[in-house]
Structures are given as C-alpha cells and as structure tokens.
Amino acid sequence: MTLRILNHPIVQITAFAVVGVSVLAVVFPHYFPYPLSSFSNYANQLMLLMLMGGLFFLLLRQPRLTFLSFAGSAALCLFLKYSNNSDGINRWRSRLTPEQVVLKSKPEHTNQLRVAHVNLSNATDIDSTVQALRNCKAGLISLHELDPMWEMILREELSSAYPFQEFYVDIGLYGMGIISKYRLAGIDTLYFDGVPSLRTAISVDGQDLRLFSLHSEPLIHESARKKLLFQLDTVGTLISHDSLPSLVFGEFNLMTWSNELQEFCKTAGLHESRNGFMHYVSKGLGSLWETPFDHIFFTSPLQVVEFSNFLEPGTGKRLGIIGAYQVQNGITYVE
C-alpha cells in the first residue's frame, strides 16, 4: 500500500514541488514571501532531512524520490559551502591536523579579550543568570533586551566585577548595554530608523579595539529587511574606514550564510567566530531546529581562540555566546 502511494504521479509531482520550492527559498529567499523566505535560516536542517529522506526512499526502492532527495541535499550542501566566507572550516581542520602547523616559539605577549553576548530574554532564572555572568571570566559582556529591572539587578550585582557600564534601557526589544572590566571610551548610540546600536572602544594591554553592539527587527516583512541592510551597510562602512581592529556582536536575525551577512563581512573585512553550523544540541534533537541569530564578528589582526555557547547554570538554557580573541603578532604557534 505504501509503495503504491509513493509511486502515484500526484505524490511524486508534489514531492518534486516541495523539494524544489524549499531549495529555491533557501538560495533565493528575497523572491519569496514570509514565512517561505525564512527557510534560508534552516538550510542545514533541511539538508539533513533531505539526506535522511534519500536514504529512506533508497530502502524502499524508490529511484525517483531517492534521486530527488539526494539532489536537494547536494544542492544545499553546495549552497552552504560557497555562501560561507568564514575561516571556521580551516580552524577546525587545523585542530584535526596539528602536524601541518609549523612549530614556532610562543609570543611573549598576546592581547587576549574574552567577550560574551547575552540576550536577557532567554534567562529563566535571575539568580542563575547573574551567577553565570559573574563567573564567565569575560572582560566584556554585551547585553540585549535590557529592561529597567535588569538594569537595576546588574548595577547592584555586577558593579564591582564590571565597573564600567553603559546601558540603553527599553521596555521593548531594543534595550541593550555593555558592562566591562576595561574603560569604555567614546561611547556613541547610533540610531537606524529607531533601532539603536552602541559603538565604543576599549584598550586591552595597550591594544585599542573598536566595539559595536547591533540589534535588528525580526525580518517578517520587507521594510525590516531594508532597515537592516541600511544598518549593516552603514556599520560596515564605518568599520572599513576605521584603523582599529573591530569586534561586532549582536542579534542579526540572520544566519551566517545569508547574503546580507556575507556582504556585510565582505564590506567590513569581518570574520565569523562560529566554527561550523550545528551549534547547539545539548537539549536533544528538538534544539537542532533552533537558529542562532546572535553572532560575534571580528577583523584582522584579531583571531578567535575559543568560542562556545553561553549556558544558564542548572537549566542548560542557551543565553548567548562567548568567545576569546587575541591579536595576531604574525607568529603561528602550537603548545
């Protein structure tokens, strides 16, 4: 009975249409209305589903559906490969093949900064979140969706550990702040059609760094996308004309492989910190469908030496991301 249904022309035509539309919506999201345009955020999950579908149909001896599923999976593989400018694959490969790295002496001095980006709306327990922020050993923490209650809590609990604090409080989506162990210099609030972003600078062991904290609207309509494009274009131009190494962190409502973020990175000379696509599986298979819209980008001569999810103690809920960065001194070394 199952084989007869799968062999029916209507079923096969429908399957071809579903796979074809899914692949096209991932590769060309701007030509599709929401929610089809959001398929691009699930490119890696759809790729795996099509791969598993191909194996399933192969067992059932359905050559057309097998070919269709494998072809769709291969198309998405190629899309992910050629739309990602991150050096994360090279970083991962270098860890697997350390013998290919030339051994040199370790530099006597490296300027390393540990940076966390946290969305406070993800917090389920205030005490656990405050404890995580206090114990994360970050030199600087970017905070999003900061409301008056969180401002009061952070000032009371973390002022001694992070004496330099800058808050933009909002009861909606756009509250944000930066707390730091380093003095924040030249703090600016940039507005993009009502959406705020923060720009500042710090000095770590004599190395000046430029910092940007960006927020964006959910991209559920074209006007939100145009607003984000203007924001990314403006910030990208500022970074490209800045002589200081830059770190950019925030909520972009886009995946790494999106055309918008790829153009942003190309304009500003930015690199993605996230190493790979499967970002968060500690809470079971359901978390595979979660999409990481938070990113930390960096420019040369900075390099990322560590990157991971920032989790709430006890619950294991993902609060954000955290990474460690240092200035390259032109020397590659391994321990």
pLDDT in the model for residue 328: 72
pLDDT in the model for residue 275: 72
**Interatomic CA distance for residues 287 and 282, integer angstroms:** 8
pLDDT for residue 92 is more than 80? no
Confidence at 324, pLDDT banded by 50, 70, 90: very high
In single-letter form, the type of residue at position 265 comes to C
For domain 88-327, give the CATH number.
Answer: 3.60.10.10
For the chain, the structural domain boundaries read 2-82, 88-327
* DSSP 3-state of 228: helix
CA 153 to chain centroid: 27
Q: What percent of the chain has pLDDT over 90?
A: 59
Mean pLDDT of 138-151: 95
pLDDT in the model for residue 288: 66
Per-residue pLDDT tens digits for 32-61? 888 888 888 889 899 999 999 999 999 999
Per-residue pLDDT tens digits for 201-220? 999 988 899 999 999 888 88
* Cα radius of gyration (the chain): 22
pLDDT for residue 244 is more than 60? yes
Backbone angle region of 192, left / alpha / beta, with phi > 0 → left and psi within -120 to 50 → alpha = beta
Sign of the alpha-carbon torsion through 67, 72, 78, 80: negative
